[in-house]
Chain A
Amino acid sequence: MTAILVGESVSKHFGGLKAVDRVDFHLDDGEILGLIGPNGAGKTTLFSVAAGSIPPTAGRVLLDGRQVSGKSAHRSVHLGICRTHQIVRPFARLTVLDNVLVGHHYGRPANVPGGDPHRVAREILDFIGLADRAGRLPGELTLAGRKRLEVARALATGPRVLLLDEVVAGLNPVESARLLDLIREIRGRGISIIMIEHVMHAVMSLSDRVVVLDLGRKIAEGTPSEVATDPVVIEAYLGRDEDDVQRQPGGAEEQQRA
C-alpha cells in the first residue's frame, strides 16, 4: 500500500495557541483512518488545513505528492480532497439535488469525466439513500438525512480522499449503523477516508488505523485495539488515576509516612 495523503510536520497556531503542533500522518490508498482525541485536540483544525480551508503555520499536506495545504479550499477540492462539516452546512434554499449538483459541477477535478450531471447526481443520491428526497429542501430532512447530504455533496466532487468530520455524532443507533455501512461502501469505491469521530464503537469498528491527537500533538498511532489499550491515550481521555498520581511521584511520601 502506498500513502495517498501525507502530512509533514503540520502545525497551525492561532496566536499563542498551538491548535496543531508538528503532526505527521499518512493515509494509505483505500484506507480508513480514524482521527480521535478529546475536545480541543485539534482534529477539525487539522482537517481544515488538509482541505485547504486555512493555511498551516508550518509543514504541509501532500496528496499524491502534490501540495493541497495552503491553497484555497476550492483548489484543494479540484486536486481530489474534500471535507464534510461537523455541523452540517447545506445550502438551505437549494433542493437536495441542487446541493449535490453544486459539488458535481464545481468540485470535479478537471480530468474526471462529467457525464450527464442529472444522472450522476441521482446516482449519488440513490447510493446515499436520499433519492426520494431529491426535490426537498435540506431543512425538511432529519439530522441523519442532512449528514448524508453532507456526504453526498462531498462524493459529488469525485474525491480521492474524503475527510469526514463527525458524521455519526448525534445519530441514533439504527441511523449510525446505516451510515457506517455507507462509509464502508464508499471505501469500497476506492475512496480513502479520514474520519473524526467521538463515537468510539464507530471508529473502532471501521478504522484500519487510528491516530490520536491531544492538545495539538499526535500522542498515539496504531490499530484500534493497540490504541484503545495505550495508557497514554487512556490518560488523555480519562486523566490519570488518582492512586497512580499519588503512588508514582509520591513514593517518597509513602516512605516518610512509614
Chain B
Amino acid sequence: MTSPERALSSGAGVRVRLPVWLPGRILVAFAAGVALLWAAPLVLPVGEYTHNVVGLTFMFMAAALAWNWLGGYVGQISFGHAAMFGAGGFVAARLMLTLGLPFWVAWLAGGLVAGCYALLWGHPTLRLRGPYFSIATIGVGEATRLVATYWSGFTGGSSGLSLPLGGGPTKFQLYWYGLYLLAVAVGLSYWLRKSRIGLALFAIKEDVEAAGDLGVDATRYQDVVLFLSGTMVGVCGGFYASYQTFIDPQDMFSFDRSISFILMAVIGGIGTILGAAAGAIVFVVIQEFLLANYSQLYLGLYGTLLVLIILFEPLGLTGLLIRVRKLFGYRPRPDIAAGGLKSAAVGVDARGSTADQGVAPVEQSAPGERGSA
C-alpha cells in the first residue's frame, strides 16, 4: 500500500514501476553482467577445464550467498549447511536415478526437501542465538551425516550414488545452469538485503529482543530466511550431484563442507552481497590450485586466512576494498564503515529527487562535522 512500490518516474513520465530499493542502474548492471557471463564462453578461448571450474564456482558462489542470508544478514552462524547441501544432492540424485525425472525438476525438488528439512530443525533451534545456535547446527550437521551414511537404501551408504552417464547436462552445459543459479542467488540476496526486509533482518541481527519490541516478528523472518537459504543450498547440492555424477555421504555432508560455506562468506565479507560471491571465487581458486599440489596444506591455509581476517579485517575483502577506497578520498557512510546496512528501504524522499534512493539528504549532514563529535 505504501512505499515499496513507488513509481520511479518523478515527472519524467516513465511508466516503469520499480520498487524504490531497486534502482534502474542496478537492474541494468545485473542484466549486463549475466549476459556477459552467458556469452563469455562462446567468445573467449578458454580451456574446457577452466570453463568447468568456473561453472562449479558459480554454484559455490550461490551457496555462499545462501549461507550468507542466514549467517550474514540475520547473524545466525550455521555450521550445518552441509546437511541441506547433502539432502538436496541426494534427493535430486535419487529422483533422477529412480524416477528418471529431468535434472532441473530433481534439483528443485531436492532444494524444497532441503528447505523443509532446514525448517524442521531450524524452527526450534533458531530461538538460540550466537554460539549456542552454532553449536546446535554442528550437532544437526553431524547427525545428518551419520544418518545419511547408514541409510544405504537411499544414499547408497558409504559407496554413494552414481548418476547414469548421459542422463543430464554435461559439465560443459552446467556452466550456464550454474550461472542461472548464481543469478537467482544474487537477485534474492539483493532483495533480502535492500528491500525493507533487510532492515528487519539487520535489526534481528543487532538485538533480537529490541527488534521484537519494535514489532519485528523475529521468529517468522528467521524461519523464512532459513527456508530460503536451505532451499538454495539444496539446489546447489543437486547441481553438485549432476556435476560430479557421483556423490557419497562422507563428501556431501562433511563438516568441511559446512565450514567451506562459512569461509567463503567470511573471506569475502560477511553480510555483504558481492563479498560472499568474491569469497567463493577465492576459495575455489585456493582449493583448485593448492589442493592438487599440497593437499595437506590447504586446510592450514584456510585456518590461517580465517584468523588473519577475523583479527585484522572482519569485513574480509569488502573491508579491504573500503580501506583502499578510503586512500583515494572515499568517505563511507558511518553505517557502512561499521559493517552496517546501506538501507535503501527508506524510499525516495517525498519531494525527492529521483537520485540515489533518497540517501543523499542523509549524507548531507554527515561530512565535515566529524571534529565536533
User: Contacts of B343 on A, CB cut-off 8 Å?
Assistant: 94-95, 97-98, 101
User: A30 vs B60: C-alpha distance in the bound complex, in angstroms?
Assistant: 58
Q: In the bound complex, what is the Cα–Cα distance between A51 and B362 (angstroms)?
A: 32
Give A contacts to B, CB under 8 Å. Answer: 51, 53, 72-74, 77-78, 82-83, 85, 89-95, 97-98, 101-103, 105-108, 113-119, 121, 132-137, 140, 153-154, 156-157
* Total A-B residue contacts, Cβ distance less than 8 Å: 150
Q: Are B203 and A97 in contact (CB under 8 A)?
A: no
Q: A77-B214, A115-B2 are in contact. List 9 more A-B contacts (CB 8 A).
A: A91-B206, A93-B206, A94-B206, A97-B362, A98-B345, A101-B346, A106-B200, A118-B347, A135-B363
User: Smallest Cβ distance from B2 to chain A, in angstroms?
Assistant: 4
Distance, CA A19 to CA B71, complexed state (A)? 37
26 A-B pairs within 8 Å (CB atoms) are namely: A53-B212, A72-B219, A74-B213, A89-B210, A91-B202, A91-B207, A93-B338, A93-B339, A93-B340, A93-B341, A94-B340, A94-B343, A95-B333, A95-B334, A95-B362, A97-B346, A101-B196, A103-B215, A105-B345, A106-B200, A107-B215, A114-B1, A116-B3, A116-B347, A121-B346, A153-B214
**Bound CA–CA A213/B202 (angstroms):** 37
Minimum CB–CB distance from B364 to chain A (whole Å) comes to 8
In the complex, chain B residues whose CB is within 8 Å of the CB of A78: 215
Task: Chain B residues near A115: list those with CB within 8 A.
Answer: 2
Q: Cβ of B211: which chain A residues have Cβ within 8 Å of it?
A: 91, 102, 106
Contact flag A103-B214 (CB < 8 Å), given A94-B343, A95-B343, A98-B343: yes
B108 touches A (CB below 8 Å): no
Q: A101-B346, A102-B203, A118-B349 are in contact. Are A95 and B215 (CB under 8 A)?
A: no
In the A-B complex, the 4 residue pairs with the closest CB atoms? A107-B215, A93-B340, A114-B2, A135-B362
Q: Please, which residues of chain A bring their CB within 8 A of the CB of B364?
A: 135
| Chain B residues with CB below 8 A from A105, complex form | 196, 199-200, 345
- Looking at B1, B339, B346, B362, which has the most chain A CB atoms within 10 Å of its CB? B346
Separation of A97 and B361 alpha carbons in the complex (Å):
11
In the complex, A108 Cα to B338 Cα: how many Å?
Answer: 28
Report Cα–Cα, A153/B196, bound state, in Å: 16
Cross-chain contact A136 with B338 (CB below 8 angstroms) = no
CB distance from B199 to the nearest CB of A (A): 6
Q: Which of these, B214, B219, B363, contacts A82 with CB under 8 Å?
A: B214
Which residue of chain A is the closest to B351 with respect to CB atoms? A119
Name the contact of B200 in the complex, choosing from A102, A134, A136 (C-beta under 8 A).
A102
For A153, what are the chain B residues with a Cβ–Cβ distance below 8 Å? Answer: 214
Given A107-B215, A136-B334, residue A94 in contact with residue B210 (CB < 8 A): no
Are B203 and A94 touching (Cβ within 8 A)?
Answer: yes
Chain B residues in the interface with A (C-beta under 8 A):
1-3, 196, 199-200, 202-203, 206-207, 209-219, 333-335, 338-341, 343, 345-350, 352, 358, 362-366, 373
A133 and B365 contact, CB distance less than 8 A = yes
Q: Could you say which residues of chain B place their CB within 8 Å of the CB of A73?
A: 209, 212-213
Cβ-closest chain A residue relative to B346: A118
CA distance A108 to B1 in the complex (A): 13
Q: Shortest CB–CB separation between residue B312 and chain A, in angstroms?
A: 19
CB distance from B127 to the nearest CB of A (A): 12
The smallest C-beta distance from A88 to any residue of chain B, in angstroms, reads 9
Residue in contact with A102 in the complex, picked from B209, B214, B217, CB distance below 8 Å? B214
Residues of A within 8 A of B349 (CB): 118-119
B3 and A107 contacting across the interface, CB-CB below 8 Å: no
- Within the complex, which residue of A85, A108, A134, A136 is in contact with B213, where a contact is CB–CB below 8 Å? A85
Contact status A140-B334, CB under 8 Å: yes
- Once bound together, how far apart are the Cα atoms of A132 and B203, in whole Å? 22
* Given contacts A95-B343, A98-B341, A119 and B350 within 8 Å (CB-CB): yes
Bound form: Cα–Cα A156–B214 in Å: 9
State the CA gap A106–B201 with chains docked (Å): 11
**Docked complex Cα distance between A115 and B3 (Å):** 8
Q: Which of A90, A119, A135, A156 contacts B365 (CB 8 A)?
A: A135
Q: Among B214, B218, B349, B364, which residue has the most Cβ atoms of chain A within 10 A?
A: B214
A91-B350 contact given A105-B199, A140-B334, CB 8 Å threshold: no
Give bound CA distance, A135 to B206, whole Å. Answer: 18
Chain B contacts for A157, CB-based, 8 A: 214-215
Shortest distance from the beta carbon of B162 to any chain A beta carbon, whole Å = 48
Q: Which residues of A contact B335 (CB under 8 A)?
A: 93-95, 98, 137
**Shortest distance between the CB of B21 and any CB in chain A (Å):** 12
- In the complex, what residues of B have CB within 8 A of residue A113's CB? 2
Contacts of A72 on B, CB cut-off 8 Å?
A: 212, 217, 219
B361 CB, nearest partner CB in chain A, Å = 8
Q: How far is the CB of B218 from chain A (nearest CB, A)?
A: 7
Tell me which residues across on chain A come within 8 A of B216, comparing CB atoms. Answer: 74, 102, 106-107
Contacting pair B210 A74 (CB below 8 A): no
Q: A74-B212, A107-B214, A157-B215 are in contact. Are A135 and B366 (CB under 8 A)?
A: yes
Chain B residues, CB < 8 A from A116: 2-3, 347, 350
Q: Please measure, in the bound complex, the distance between the C-alpha atom of A77 and the C-alpha atom of B218, giving whole angstroms.
A: 13
The answer on a CB contact under 8 Å between A140 and B373 is yes
Most A C-beta atoms less than 10 A away, residue of B2, B215, B218, B219:
B215
